[in-house]
Amino acid sequence: MRCSFCGYEDSKVLDSRPVEEGRSIRRRRECQRCGKRFTTYERVEEMSLLVVKRDGSREIFDKNKILAGLVRACDKRPVPMSTLEDMVSDIEKELRNSMEKEVTAKQIGDMVMVRLRQVDDVAYVRFASVYRKFEDIETFMKEIHNMMSQK
């Protein structure tokens, strides 16, 4: 592995450990020329997954976008970040296990809604208001009544 400081191509592995629930390996290395230490990560190359947006455009799946939406929905709510990260990992795993190369933004949104509803009702309504593009208070109230009738 090339040293990130001097560019020398030989380094010694000092420590290796699994990270991201065993999906990658973190290696601590030391350059054989300059002696500086740096970290590298080894990951399995995953099949690319495309998201088909509402307008028909396609973009590469980015789990950070899902996490950002969940963080906004859960702002000032008692939902731990670890719960949100677990939700995103679960969604990504389910999508990749489906072996589909393309998935619609609607499918992803529905998956988020199901999981968020189990975690926090207020965050669920916040997310739903953006995801379903509530345009007036009546649509908002219908969703709340629907939620309450299912409890």
Instruction: Give the β-pairing of 37-43 and 58-60.
Output: unpaired
Instruction: Give the β-pairing of 50-52 and 102-104.
Output: parallel
Q: What is the DSSP string of 36-85?
A: -EEEEEEEPPPPP-EEE-TTS-EEE--HHHHHHHHHHHTTTSS--HHHHH
User: Which amino acid is it at 118?
Assistant: Q
Q: How confident is the model at residue 43 (pLDDT cuts 50, 70, 90)?
A: confident
When pLDDT is averaged across residues 82-91 and rounded to a whole number, the result is 95
User: Which amino acid is it at 4?
Assistant: S
Q: pTM of the full predicted structure?
A: 0.64
